[in-house]
Structure 1
């Protein structure tokens, strides 16, 4: 019996020792890495809603009244400068030109006769001057009639793409009536609005001789092949929105962009003294972002943060953290609120260098 009691005691001792060993091993395994936000100047990518405009986009209007006799182009067609697009019936204007030419011929004959008479002192110099003025007027009428006749042919003022027709073949068009629009899409202007604070950051950090490149995300979420250049900023802020309009120019050699389309402009905006943290230090609850902050007693507390911008693998923190705060770097799913942990601090610079891409 005594032997049995000793065996039971020994077993209990071994079991207790084993539990203590496992407990100690578990405590050794609960050493978590913590770090702090890194404060530095960086560039963040902002997106702004943009409106695409052709640099040359005009209304094509009739310059003379008449029936639309011919249409030489089609909607959506690429036309060349000087190409004939529309023909208004020229019959009446041809007759007006012939009439003006006949009157000019008559005035020319009358002038020649008066000139001969003046050289013989049969008529006064004033009569000769009047004949000369009448001839000049007749010639001007010929030029004017020729211009009116030319206006019956509507030609492309530049290379561009035709829009839909506002009139149809055989329609009676009035002087000044809209017939179509024409767009030169070889280069495009994209207008986008920037808040005042970001405008000030842009102006204070942008060198006057530096070119600012931007990208355009099209409506299908694809990035346009060619970068644009910010060329102008409008003079005034919009009092209602507090924004100011930027204009970027994009080359469009393939004609993919069209007048009136939309997209988002991506522009790198400088941010001074930004607080950067790895994205993996955060977790979400009901669409809000949180981090675990370690207090001086090594106890974890969740804290909500506001993200100002997102970089590859990084967040720029706008509110919720300070430079010296210690945040949990890894093992977020292994801990809970108000839990005391063993921690090992890792310098923020070392953490950032281990990421695939970090802010520069």
Structure 2
């Protein structure tokens, strides 16, 4: 009796399980998947370009005379003002040469004055006076040259800026032209980046206003620089090897955050006319290639490779693989299989786009 009871219970459980399985399969078959179409519209994309950051003025400070370095008046990394004394070359030799030249100039001045008195009295010929005048002018020129050499022993800042690392120390014997340090004017920064030919053409054709020249700088720490820059210069020639042309943007740097030699990424908005857009979530990846599920007129899904031209927030711009008339699966990509028939609900692409923007907020 007990054995018959257990057999009956097992049979009932099997019937219930089979019934539940059939209901589940039926429920899955009746599930509706959202499909939509790509949308074609004019938009803009933000392209990023690896960039090099340079000071608007970055120069080498070199010795203008040979001699021993007597003193350094500033420190590495110090902000200096135009005309501020930076280095002093031992001036003794040049002071002596200046004194000698001054004495010769004074002597020539006396000779000229005496000769002029004699010439006024017709004691000497006019040629003698001319010779004395020439000697005086030569002596004065040599005095001026000696003063220049003496001034060169004092090396001053040609503009406001930041002193770089010292390459010499006091007591060093420096030669004429030897590099002492560098000076950088960081009040503004020049940021150089290379743009491919196609994007250069888009920029030139669709640049309608000054706002189109504005760019942003993403610094090495992935933080956005607080000031906008402006594209001011495009070089004359393309690089035949890379197909790129250098752009230069100028950024204000009032806080002095940016320094010469830094790197970053320029973020530039580029016009994208008649772009074919699909949601990023409608794609899946196989071996580094992007695919979507296309739904045909019989509601059969098939995977199709697409080529991504650009990436926008939550969207991809497609360059090949789809048309506006195609229907693609928007959600539930992991619940379907190739060549499977599904129940679908079509959603207008404008509604899909609006939902993506709402979700992003």
Q: Same fold (TM over 0.5)?
A: yes
User: Over aligned residue pairs, what C-alpha RMSD do you find?
Assistant: 2.1
TM-aligned CA deviation for residue 246 of structure 1? 0.4
Alignment pair present for 1:107 and 2:126: no
For residues 286 and 22 of structure 2, what CA distance do their matches in structure 1 show? Answer: 37
Residue in 1 that maps onto 2:233 = 232
Alignment pair present for 1:119 and 2:120: yes
Determine if contact 1:312/1:357 at 8 Å carries over to the other structure.
no
Q: Which runs of 5+ in 2 are unaligned?
A: 1-11
TM-aligned CA deviation for residue 99 of structure 1? 0.6
Q: What secondary structure sits across from 2:299 in the alignment? A: coil
Residue in 1 that maps onto 2:39 = 38
Alignment pair present for 1:215 and 2:216: yes
**Which runs of structure 2 are paired with 1:42-61 in the superposition (5 Å)?**
42-61=43-62
For residues 164 and 150 of structure 2, what CA distance do their matches in structure 1 show? Answer: 25
**Which runs of structure 2 are paired with 1:305-316 in the superposition (5 Å)?**
305-316=306-317
Q: What secondary structure sits across from 1:349 in the alignment? A: helix
Determine if contact 1:55/1:189 at 8 Å carries over to the other structure.
yes
Alignment pair present for 1:185 and 2:179: no
- Deviation string 1:231-289 (CA, Å, 9 cap, x unpaired) is 11000000000100000001111212111111111111111221111112112234332
- Deviation string 1:195-250 (CA, Å, 9 cap, x unpaired) is 00111111110126555111111122222121111111000000000100000001
Residue in 1 that maps onto 2:244 = 243
Of 158-167 and 197-206, more deviation after overlay is shown by: 158-167
Determine if contact 1:313/1:357 at 8 Å carries over to the other structure.
no
- Deviation string 1:289-348 (CA, Å, 9 cap, x unpaired) is 221110121101112222222111111112221221100011212211111011111111
For residues 169 and 42 of structure 2, what CA distance do their matches in structure 1 show? Answer: 61
Determine if contact 2:212/2:269 at 8 Å carries over to the other structure.
no
**Which runs of structure 2 are paired with 1:1-360 in the superposition (5 Å)?**
25-28=27-30, 30-207=31-208, 209-356=210-357
Residue in 2 that maps onto 1:6 = none
Q: Say if 1:265 and 1:357 are closer, same or farther in 2 by CA, change over 3 A.
A: farther
Determine if contact 1:291/1:303 at 8 Å carries over to the other structure.
yes
Q: Say if 1:107 and 1:21 are closer, same or farther in 2 by CA, change over 3 A.
A: closer
Q: Say if 1:219 and 1:19 are closer, same or farther in 2 by CA, change over 3 A.
A: closer
Determine if contact 1:87/1:154 at 8 Å carries over to the other structure.
yes
For residues 138 and 224 of structure 1, what CA distance do their matches in structure 2 show? Answer: 58
Q: Which runs of 5+ in 1 are unaligned?
A: 1-10
- Count of matched residue pairs: 346
For residues 18 and 113 of structure 1, what CA distance do their matches in structure 2 show? Answer: 132
